[in-house]
Amino acid sequence: MRGRPVSSVLRQRRTDSRRSQDHDRAVLPEVDDQVPRDHWQWCAPERSRGGCAARYSGTERCQNVPVQPVERKLAAIFAADIAGYSRLMARDEVGTLAGLKACRLIIDKLIASHRGRIFNTAGDSVVADFASAVDAVQCAVAVQEAIVAENEARSSDEAMQLRIGVHVGDVIVDGENLLGDGVNIAARLEALAEPGAICVSAAARDYIGNRLPLGFDDLGAQRVKNIPDVIRVYRVQHAVPVMQPIAALALPDKPSIAVLPFQNMSGDPEQEYFADGMVEEITTAIARLPWLFVIARNSAFTYKGKAVDVKQVARELGVRYVLEGSVRKGGNRVRITGQLIDTATGAHIWADRFDGALDDIFQLQDQVASSVAGAIEPKLRQSEIERSARKPTENLDAYDLFLRALAEVQKPVLDKTAGIAAARQALAIDPGYAPAAALIGGIRVAHSVAGVAVSVEEIAEALRLARQALIIGKDDPDVLWRAGHSLAFFAGEHAAALNAVERAITLNPNSAHAWWTSSVVNCYANQPEPALAAVQQAMRLSPLDWQTFNFRWAHGYALMLAGRYEEALEWVDRSLHERPSFHASIRGKVALCGYLGRTEEARYWIARLLEVNPANTIAGFRAFGSKFLSAGTLAVWEEGFRCAGLPEQ
């Protein structure tokens, strides 16, 4: 809202003074009505106590208006709220309130640790002041990254996303509260920010200068509500670069296919895991054809629950064909329907339906694989696809439990104890079920990489089950790469692990996770060249994998071992963009900043690393890494840490 001309404001003030005899505001002097109106500044009424100072803008004379003395100070104001809070409350009041409380705990702690003070909260909003613009923006970045990590356990519909504005300006002190345009502008900047973003004013940007390892996008001059002057606004680029949109991928030199999530037609949400498990088995069966390029399950499942445009899928995944369908399970019967689409024309080139008893479910999967292969390559229609030796246990209860364990593992959450419990239940029913045995070791590796303590007894169990799985499941590629990784990570048996992984790739050359495991085990063994080749193949096979952050970290790891530090840092930054809380990538960032001489930037990441665990010193890493890293790889890490300034003890 625009303010009133000063002459009008002054006349109103005199009227107010006469009406309130006990008010000690001074009577304002008359203003020369002959002064041209356009020489006077417009004045917005202040919300605080006191008067409104006006001045004559001409060169001839200046008219000052007395005001009641108030306490003022210069402050960096941080304003934040949750985007779409009303929508979230309408959907689930109890869950949203719990999420808000969790976010507030994070925000309050980070504001305090960055020397800030909260002076106003209302509903989902938080307003705080800092003595330093640097502290305010550092806090804003830390808050956004922490909220991203908090959201990893939530669905996209439940995720909390903050908008944050930061401004440096003059504010009025009213007890514990702060008032005035300095606060209002920060609130307007918050409203301009996109969900998950931070907007700062030109004033805040100027105070920050080059003191932080951040970039700023100039959004230009913006008009905001109730502020008469335009505000120049900048959007903060987080400490990791903003990724560019995914470019269309070229088609490979052989038939290519993505198996999209099948629709669960059972009418029971609890059976969702069954439909997903069916799709994974069908994907694996098709992927065993060496002449066929198959996109990994995790990339294909990014389209789960979405209205699918097959042409968009083709562009994003780099495939010619898409298989979609449905699964209906009722009692002891199951029906699988599928249709194969040529994305170039949109034509349905194959469709079929398979009915059978649950004890024939694996035969149904092979029938689907055979029919799809025949539709893609007619000359192979008459060729029989050799049935894979890998068959899930005949005890469907154990298989059911394994699918539940796998569903838990694939959730982007740190606590995977439910997956361990389900896998153990499967083994209790069928002690020889190799997929469940290998999965337990895989979960323990994931825990350890994330910084979760794994006991001596748990490591012993993981190794025992991995060795058992390698014997029983020697023809199962998923068993081989999972068990092989456990041997490498917990026992340092690089050669045995690589043998298992190479056999997995021979059995299923389209297993992105087998290629990724080959990469990280080669990194452990200080063999960067084969590690680079393997991770590049993994990323090509599954370009939209939910574990892309892991692939990108492995790429950076291999490049660091090869001495290509600038390139390595780019890939580690990409990993941190996908998963800001990923412990291994934070560690890699510290080492690479050390090698590149970025000591200022290294300090920030060292603080992040020690915040996760104060034992993350050079000596602490040596005790951790010596169990599975070669001497050469361990030396590379230690030298990078030392250059960065990580404490020895």
Q: Which tokens hold the place of 172? A: 């009025």
Cα Dmax for the chain? 104
Number of domains in the chain: 5
End of a domain among 380, 415, 432?
Answer: 380
Q: Quick one: 161 and 142 in the same domain? A: yes
Mean pLDDT of the chain: 79
The whole-number pLDDT of residue 76 equals 96
Angle at 295 between CA 323 and CA 541, to 5 degrees: 170
Residue 539 falls within a domain, yes or no? no
Name 389's Cβ contacts closer than 8 Å, sequence gap at least 6: 475
Name 416's Cβ contacts closer than 8 Å, sequence gap at least 6: 408, 409, 443, 446, 447
Q: Quick one: 144 and 198 in the same domain? A: yes
End of a domain among 326, 351, 380?
Answer: 380
The whole-number pLDDT of residue 9 equals 39
Q: Quick one: 465 and 365 in the same domain? A: no
- Assign residue 95 the CATH number of its domain: 3.30.70.1230
The whole-number pLDDT of residue 270 equals 63
The whole-number pLDDT of residue 368 equals 63
The whole-number pLDDT of residue 238 equals 66
Residue 579 falls within a domain, yes or no? yes
The whole-number pLDDT of residue 290 equals 59
Q: Quick one: 186 and 130 in the same domain? A: yes
Contact of 174 with 46, CB cutoff 8 Å: no
Quick one: DSSP state of residue 248?
P
Q: Quick one: 364 and 426 in the same domain? A: no
Residue from 454, 439, 445, 359 nearest 401 by CA = 439
Say what the pTM is. Answer: 0.54
Residue 385 falls within a domain, yes or no? no
The whole-number pLDDT of residue 279 equals 79
The whole-number pLDDT of residue 64 equals 55
For residue 471, the enclosing domain spans 395-507
The whole-number pLDDT of residue 160 equals 87
Q: Quick one: 87 and 210 in the same domain? A: yes
Q: Quick one: 36 and 89 in the same domain? A: no
Contact of 72 with 46, CB cutoff 8 Å: no
The whole-number pLDDT of residue 284 equals 79
Name 189's Cβ contacts closer than 8 Å, sequence gap at least 6: 79, 165, 166, 167, 199, 200, 201, 224, 231, 233
Residue 461 falls within a domain, yes or no? yes
- Assign residue 634 the CATH number of its domain: 1.25.40.10
Contact of 314 with 343, CB cutoff 8 Å: yes
Residue 251 falls within a domain, yes or no? no
Q: Which residue ranges of the chain lie beneath pLDDT 50?
A: 1-62, 239-246, 374-393, 395-396
Q: Quick one: 445 and 489 in the same domain? A: yes
- Assign residue 265 the CATH number of its domain: 3.40.50.10610
Distances from the Cα of 417 to the Cαs of 174, 260, 445, in angstroms?
Answer: 51, 28, 13
The whole-number pLDDT of residue 588 equals 95
Q: Quick one: 402 and 466 in the same domain? A: yes
Q: Quick one: 56 and 188 in the same domain? A: no
The whole-number pLDDT of residue 341 equals 84
Residue 174 falls within a domain, yes or no? yes
Q: Which tokens hold the place of 605? A: 């990441």
Residue 538 falls within a domain, yes or no? no
Q: Quick one: 158 and 291 in the same domain? A: no
Q: Quick one: 121 and 218 in the same domain? A: yes
Q: Strand (E) positions, 368-469?
A: none
The whole-number pLDDT of residue 454 equals 85
